[in-house]
Amino acid sequence: MNMRPSNVFLVRLAVASLGVAGLWMAWPQNPPAPAALNLQKVTENLYVLIGDGGNVAFMPTSEGVILVDDKFDRDAPQILAKVKSVTDQPIRYVLNTHQHGDHTGGNEALLAAHAEIVIHKNARANMVTGKQSGLPHITFSEEAQVFAGGKEVIARHLGRGHTNGDAVIYFPSERVLHSGDLLVAGAPFCDTSAGGSIKEWDQTLQKALQYDFDTVIPGHGPVMKRADLEKYVHTVAAIREHVRTACAGGASDAAKRVDLKDLGLTTSDMFNRGVPGMCQELAQ
């Protein structure tokens, strides 16, 4: 999966933006049939499912599959089928990167399939507040480790950013990091209603660089490289200053004044929804 870092934020950005916009919100009753999920091999032992929600990573082992996120509830049958196409082992653990429904919607089906689901304690509290189904049984404050078939996977809360319960998921044996929505292919959504912070976001990303990895699976968009995450640290800091300038003219219509073209990005409906909350935080 060779992709030049300089191209990640420009290539297929329009498609990525469509994938991000609106996904965290509750899906209406009688939704359309789910889009086909694209199965890609990231390393010899790690796969990603791209499409119709947050990127799902999974690692088959001799003692079961370790899964990261599970998209919308409508995607659960297809996720199970895709995993089954690679291994006969059942899904043993699910690590949620945060609470939004395009990353946790399949929780209920996977709990019914006897998987254990792990999430940061703040993210679970956000799920409770949002009356979401599929509440995980296991939470952590700073770090959780799961082991299966001689493989270790680490979930780590590094601080606030997209929400107050974000976790990055590290696969040491594969030198791969799953960032959740702390990194996406496009302009980020800062969910201040769930404790997100545009002030702290770049610092949180900076801490993720402590891990030894070559490849990054973002929350949405194509698989990336370490250099893309390094670049996004500076991008988020620059976005913050663009938003700060726009907020000076009033928070209610600040989104209309945010221009990210110099960063190679375009704003989206989802990004714009986060602007008033970012203005409020920046004013404090």
Q: What is the pLDDT of residue 31?
A: 56
In a domain, 182, yes or no: yes
What does the alpha-carbon distance between residue 274 and residue 51 come to, in Å, rounded to a whole number? 23
In a domain, 119, yes or no: yes
In a domain, 102, yes or no: yes
Residue 26 has pLDDT above 70, yes or no: no
| pLDDT tens sequence across 198-231 | 999 999 999 999 999 999 999 999 999 999 999 9
pLDDT class for 7, splitting at 50, 70, 90? very low
Cα angle for residues 230, 235, 239 (degrees, 5° grid): 155
Domain that holds residue 105: 5-238
Report the domain count for the chain: 1
Instruction: Give the tokens for residue 204.
Output: 């949180």
pTM, rounded to two decimals: 0.89
Question: Are the C-beta atoms of 64 and 149 separated by less than 8 Å?
Answer: yes
Q: Can you give the CATH number for the domain in which 84 is found?
A: 3.60.15.10
* Mean pLDDT, range 83-104, rounded to an integer: 98
pLDDT class for 266, splitting at 50, 70, 90? very high
* Mean pLDDT, range 76-101, rounded to an integer: 98
Residue 185 has pLDDT above 70, yes or no: yes
What does the alpha-carbon distance between residue 223 and residue 227 come to, in Å, rounded to a whole number? 12
Q: What is the pLDDT of residue 1?
A: 43
What does the alpha-carbon distance between residue 96 and residue 66 come to, in Å, rounded to a whole number? 11
- The candidate with the shortest Cα–Cα distance to 186, out of 111, 80, 263, 104, is 263
Residue 16 has pLDDT above 60, yes or no: no
What does the alpha-carbon distance between residue 125 and residue 117 come to, in Å, rounded to a whole number? 14
Residue 30 has pLDDT above 70, yes or no: no
